[in-house]
Amino acid sequence: MPDNDSRSGTSSGESADGSSIMIRRLLVIGAVAIASLGALAVPSSAAQTPTLTNIRTGAHEYYDRVVLDFSGAAPDRTVSYVPQIVQDGSGEPIPMPGNAFLQLGMNPAAAHDDNGNPTYTGPRLFTTPALTNVKAIALAGDFEGHLTIGISMDHKSLYSVSTLTNPTRVVIDIGH
């Protein structure tokens, strides 16, 4: 019996040598691979600079607490007592009540988004009358991924700094 199949013994849509299907498959695989590489190149939100969103305080029996709320990952930080709190860049002293000054530098961190809009909209300097030792808090610098917070106190005391997550917070506990 003669073969009346017009496909000449090949599968549907395939040329006699199968090359057109193979080329299509390679093109699809190549397109998927290129699209996958493009997705890998997009920066993740974890790579974005953490932004300050709020500064809160709390009074406790033996210590005062300062909480810095961040969106994103927690920044690296350095903390030290300084003779006075100064404005980053200009070096101008920030007038703050108290006799001891703690400076907290965070990097990378910012108090503004990528478009320059503030993410922290509270005061740049405020007093803390409800606290025992902590007298005032100042946003002393926000430039090129470096954020500086100053804390003035009645007197030097032991302090601890910790990072909490979900949401991201840097917590400074200062003894009375």
Could you tell me how many residues make up the chain?
176
Q: In terms of Cα–Cα distance, which of 141, 164, 37 is closest to 87?
A: 141
Looking at residue 106, its pLDDT comes to: 98
Region 109-127: mean pLDDT is 97
Average pLDDT score over residue span 105-116? 97
Rounded CA separation 41/47 (Å): 12
pTM for this predicted structure: 0.74
pLDDT single digits (tens) 162-173: 999 999 999 999
Q: What is the pLDDT of residue 5?
A: 43
Q: Is the predicted pLDDT of residue 9 greater than 70, yes or no?
A: no
Which tokens belong to 120?
């922290």
pLDDT computed for residue 27 by the predictor:
58
CATH label, 49-175, candidates 2.60.40.10, 2.60.40.3500, 3.40.50.620, 3.55.40.10:
2.60.40.3500
Tens of pLDDT, residue by residue over 23-42, are 666 555 655 555 554 444 44
The average pLDDT across 120-139 equals 98
Q: Taking Cα atoms as reference points, which of 66, 24, 74 lies closest to residue 49?
A: 74
Closest listed residue to residue 124, CA positions, set 150, 154, 89, 153: 150
Question: With left for phi above 0 and alpha for psi between -120 and 50, is residue 101 left, alpha or beta?
Answer: beta
Predicted local confidence at residue 21, as pLDDT? 65
Q: What is the mean pLDDT of residues 148-176?
A: 98
Helices H / strands E in the chain, number of each: 1, 9
pLDDT confidence tier of residue 153, bands split at 50, 70 and 90:
very high
15 three-class SS: coil
Helix (H) or strand (E) segment spanning residue 19: helix 19-41
Query: Domain coordinates of the chain in residue numbers?
Result: 12-42, 49-175
